[in-house]
Amino acid sequence: MRKFLAAQDIARAPYANHFTELHDANVVNLNDQQKIYVITEVRSGGAWTCEYTNSSADGEVYTRNGSGIQTFFPKAFVGENLKFTGVTEVSGFFIPAGKVF
């Protein structure tokens, strides 16, 4: 789904909408349709994978892989409908987004 962002939401999101998702089953799903997620850190004891989409019209599912602790700052990792496997913790923030008609 294509989405739009308000400039003031982008500026305050890192402070107001921060999250850390802990998970002991090694799967973290971030799939609220009203949010675009910005991932700043992934923690894992080994290899991890993230499947995600972005707000482009193609609907393609992308994959990102890594191992151990990885920090994505200042180049943050942005996506929607994220599904992490093999992780113990995912941190970042979200930006409220509205649907483009």
Token pair for residue 93?
């923030």
**Cβ–Cβ < 8 Å for 49, 85:** yes
**Mean pLDDT value of segment 3-13:** 67
pLDDT digits (tens, 9 = 90+) for 87-97: 889 999 988 87
Q: Is the pTM of this model over 0.75?
A: yes
Indicate the pLDDT class of residue 17, thresholds 50, 70 and 90: confident
pLDDT digits (tens, 9 = 90+) for 46-100: 999 999 988 776 778 989 999 988 888 777 788 888 999 998 899 999 888 766 6
Q: How far apart are the C-alpha atoms of 49 and 15, rounded to whole Å?
A: 26
Q: Give the CATH number, domain containing residue 67.
A: 2.60.120
Per the structure, the count of domains in the chain is 1
Question: Could you list the residue range(s) of the whole structural domain that residue 95 is in?
Answer: 3-99
